[in-house]
Amino acid sequence: MKTPSLRVLSVIPPMTQLNTPYPSTAYLTGFLRSRGVDAVQVDLALALVLQVFTPAGLQAVQGRALALPETRRSASVHAFLDQFERYRTTIGPVIAFLQGRDSTLAHRIAARELLPEGPRFDALSVYVDAALGEEDGDPLAWAFGALGVQDKARHLATLYLNDLADVLRDAVDERFAFVRYAESLASSQPSFDPMAAALAAPPTLIDELLHTLTLATLARQRPDVVLLSVPFPGALYAALRIAQTIKAQNPHIAIVLGGGFVNTELRELAEPRLFDFVDYVTLDAGERPLLALLEYLGRQRSRQRLVRTFTREGEGADAAVRYINFVEPDIPFEDVGTPTWDGLPLDRYLSLLDMLNPMHRLWSDGRWNKLTVAHGCYWKKCSFCDVGLDYIGRYETASAATLADRIEAIVGETGQTGFHFVDEAAPPKALKALAQELLRRQLPISWWGNIRFEKTFTPDLCQLLADSGCIAMSGGLEVASDRLLALMKKGVSVEQVARVTKGFSDAGILVHAYLMYGFPTQTVQDTVDALEYVRQLFENGCIQSGFFHRFACTVHSPVGQDPAAYGIELLPQPPATFARNDVGFFDPTGVDHDALGVGLRKAIYNYMHGIGLDEDVRAWFSHLPGKVPKASVGRHRIAKALARPG
């Protein structure tokens, strides 16, 4: 059947990330073009930030800040108003510097004489000059030395932008953030009421700027269909503001909502009011539903043959949401085509340096071509994961030759050789084949990705991956407790993770560990022991970075589906017509995981900066009432495990 002649615009809404485009629109645009569709894309998240952070944008922010009563001005707002002229004159040069267009400015920024400094710069006071051991030395010398001027300047410029983001939150829009923007309106929100109220409220300055940008985009692109890709709850509010503007300007444009947030949280959607803003909501991999929808809009397919699509039927009190799923096979991963970044301003993204850790910086620093080695997860057993959903449960691979062809095409298009493989867990067999193909073709790329720390990653394979351009790996260690790892069905042990991560580190590959606390039946002793294991992994050079996040029970995970098997009881949930994902639960252990989390986050932050590795881990929990148990793990267990043959 001939592809309908409709112009399709894919939109990245605020807020996703600022250093590189979120890849969903690149995949969809590349796929649609491969099927003959007139497809284009735009990143309104980046466009919004670049509109705010201009002299004119800051002038408008100043007006809102001055309108606040003195008693309601935060420290960030006071600092901004007191130093406004310096902010106004430096914002343009700072943005150009972070975009890589004015590298010589680094010298003035690094000298700390150019930029105004607000409360975010207070964090620098905790550092001392490690070389001189003096409080009045350069507090960042330990991180950047004598010649790391560019990186030091980028870190300072990032603090400067974070100060301004705080001003926007405190004076302009209380929901504003570079990430998690208005997240509470969407995340696991059973009712649409809070979102509806926010969308009906008078627009903030941020809303007004986004409205103007949306109108300009419509005038420039003249689409028939707009795809709003919402990967996170923090992108939904702005996506619906964009949709609101489109509907008011041209109600005949078909608006489609999809993405990771939708696929996870809107699977039981029954809220007709959402369709005041969008016309269709599609689930899971977007290629097949979009082809069916475009054929329907082009009068080549009946409405009853839409695929995985929510629509509204009826009006007023009779309106109801209908889910239509005419079953057709998904597009094989081998055939989804090559993502394209055509139309996105790759020279305008901002390389930020939030944290002084060489591994952690990769998420915000640099313009990475994001690519997927496989669809889904080859393991799909972890009890905390949404293993039944398509993005995890449908596992498909592409050949190494196909992946290398895509890499070559992307490098040819973008001129950039950095790749971030964004798999749930890249399969070792596929990575080995890809590494061999990259070496055979002599493709000089740099790449990093996410894996399971399984024993298949031998030292020899780690070295092969490094030879092919691998610079970093992240993976889930989660609880660092063999008992809980078994309960999670991770399929790994702590000692195995130690050997695998050491193999990567010895090959010169940086390693980041995702860590979890608050898993069902996890005791205080389990938590202390887990932190001791993590301390030893840092101490022995197995990992260089990590992050502790609080366990959340989701309705689609094995824990949420069978809580009794994990020793917990789910709390009653309110009726949900909108978003549904996280669910509260009762754990009979009664542990105050929130209090423990404070110590865990403080410990991991210090470990990433090489601080406190020789201290007893109980020191991080000194804020807790009562006695914290001593770690039951031998202080040198990881070192002994590494000394034994694997």
Query: What pLDDT, on the 0 to 100 scale, is given for residue 132?
Result: 41
pLDDT, residue 133, reads: 47
Residue 486 has pLDDT above 80, yes or no: yes
Q: How confident is the model at residue 1 (pLDDT cuts 50, 70, 90)?
A: low
Q: For position 476, what pLDDT does the model report?
A: 92
Cβ neighbourhood burial of 151 (10 Å; 0-12, 13-18, 19+): buried
Alpha carbon separation from 368 to 318, 349, 364, 504 (Å, rounded) = 48, 11, 10, 21
Integer Cα distance of 602 and 584 in angstroms: 25
Question: Are the C-beta atoms of 206 and 48 separated by less than 8 Å?
Answer: yes
Averaged pLDDT, 12-16: 95
Position 644 scores a pLDDT of 84
**Do residues 514 and 546 lie in contact, with contact meaning Cβ atoms separated by under 8 Å?**
yes
Max CA distance (Å), the chain: 75
Between 128 and 266, the higher pLDDT residue? 266
Rounded to 10 degrees, what is the CA torsion of 86, 87, 90, 93?
180
Q: For residues 521, 526, 527 and 528, what is the CA-based torsion angle, rounded to 10 degrees?
A: 160
Q: What is the mean pLDDT of the chain?
A: 94
At residue 356, the pLDDT reads: 85
pLDDT recorded at residue 3: 61
In the predicted model, is pLDDT for residue 71 greater than 90? yes
**Global pTM value:** 0.94
Which two tokens mark 170?
């405190």
Q: Is pLDDT above 60 for 282? A: yes
Residue 128 has pLDDT above 60, yes or no: no
* H or E stretch covering 205: helix 205-221
Model confidence at 204, in pLDDT bands (50, 70, 90)?
A: very high
* Arithmetic mean of pLDDT, 547-567: 95
d(CA 363, CA 448): 11
Positions of CATH 3.20.20 in the chain: 355-551+595-643
Q: What is the structure's pLDDT at 130? A: 42
Structure tokens that stand for 162 in this block = 């974070």
* Domain 355-551+595-643 fold: TIM Barrel (3.20.20)
Where does the chain hold its CATH 3.40.50.2300 domain(s)? 7-45+183-334
- What's the mean pLDDT in 162-184? 95
Q: What distances in angstroms separate CA 219 from CA 215, 247, 279, 314, 553, one per listed residue?
A: 6, 14, 21, 31, 44
- Tens digit of each residue's pLDDT (9 = 90 or more) over 355-393: 888 898 999 999 999 999 999 999 999 999 999 899 999
| pLDDT value at 136 more than 70 | no
pLDDT given for residue 469 in this prediction: 98
What length does the chain have?
646
Closest by CA position to 525, among listed 480, 563, 570: 480
Are 236 and 18 in contact by the 8 Å Cβ rule? The answer is no
pLDDT for 180: 86
Please write the tens of the pLDDT for every residue from 220-257.
Answer: 999 999 999 999 999 999 999 999 999 999 999 999 99
Mean of the pLDDT values across residues 125-150?
A: 66
Which of the residue ranges 35-44, 142-151, 322-331, 352-361 would you say has the lowest mean pLDDT?
Answer: 142-151
Side-chain half-sphere of 640: how many Cα atoms within 13 Å?
6
Q: What is the mean pLDDT of residues 30-46?
A: 97
Gap between the Cα atoms of 348 and 154, Å rounded: 15
Find, among 425, 475, 443, the residue nearest to 434 by Cα. Answer: 443
Is the pLDDT at 21 greater than 50, yes or no? yes
* 168 DSSP 8-state letter: I
* pLDDT of amino acid 589: 92
Q: Two tokens at 505?
A: 């580190």
Q: Which CATH class is domain 7-45+183-334?
A: alpha beta
Asked if the model's pLDDT at residue 435 lies above 90, the reply is: yes
pLDDT > 70: percent of the chain:
97
